[in-house]
Amino acid sequence: MSRAFIKEDLAESAPIIPPRAALPPGTPNYVTPRGLSLLRAELAELQGQRAQVEANHSDEADRTRQLTVLNGRLKALTERIGTAKVVDPRDQPTDQVRFGATVTLQTRSGQGSGRRQFTIVGVDEASVAEGRVAFVAPIARALQGARRGQTVSLPVGRGVETVEVVDIAYPRTETPPGDQAPDAPSTAS
């Protein structure tokens, strides 16, 4: 086969659009107010990138490819924002681990050791490196409803780790204006 045919086939192959963070089928798309703000900022950034590609690209094939990727990402993001259900951590019971809680755990037995802390957030906001765990993650699901002082068994690798819930905290900051879910009633008059 000629190199020209291979190059042409590659140029015409469909671009790969990276998927959003996994959200199990039938699971509500819970987000924190901060998470919704981040999604909206990402939307504005992608719209800006699309406008720039539309205005400043002379190579039609490359322009089309970039626009296809950007439009695919915008579609997925718009759908994710449209299904967002904002859970304000200020409305959660302060004595239980729920969505939006910052949880401090102390290992009592098992593979882990010491204390660790993380916040339970939406799937798009999760970042283990930053101490934010998606509410659908096994550790977050195992801790749902736990109270301060309670011990919980967590499946880790091939074993089980027993941890104590040392502290549960929820942020007490105001929700930024305009950061309500699309279907949430507005409180502005």
- For residue 153, tell me if it sits in a domain: yes
- Which of 27-41, 48-62, 151-165 is modeled with the greatest confidence? 27-41
**pLDDT above 90 (res 7):** no
pLDDT given for residue 168 in this prediction: 96
- 53 and 105 share one domain: no
- For residue 185, tell me if it sits in a domain: no
Q: Which of 56, 86, 116 is the last residue of a domain?
A: 86
Total residue length of the chain: 189
pLDDT given for residue 173 in this prediction: 59
- For residue 3, tell me if it sits in a domain: no
Using CA atoms, how far residue 26 sits from 23, 29, 88, 136, in Å, is 8, 9, 21, 12
- 63 and 75 share one domain: yes
3-state SS assignment for residue 31: strand
- For residue 137, tell me if it sits in a domain: yes
- 72 and 114 share one domain: no
Q: Six-digit token pair at 114?
A: 């010491």
3-state SS assignment for residue 5: helix
Q: What is the largest CA-CA distance in the chain?
A: 70
Count: domains in the chain: 2
Supply the CATH number for residue 40's domain: 1.10.287
- 118 and 63 share one domain: no
Asked if residues 94 and 168 have their Cβ atoms less than 8 Å apart, the reply is: yes
- 69 and 129 share one domain: no
**pLDDT above 60 (res 27):** yes
Asked if residues 54 and 70 have their Cβ atoms less than 8 Å apart, the reply is: no
State the residue range of the domain holding 67. Answer: 9-16+26-86
Residue 13 CB: number of other CB atoms within 10 A? Answer: 9
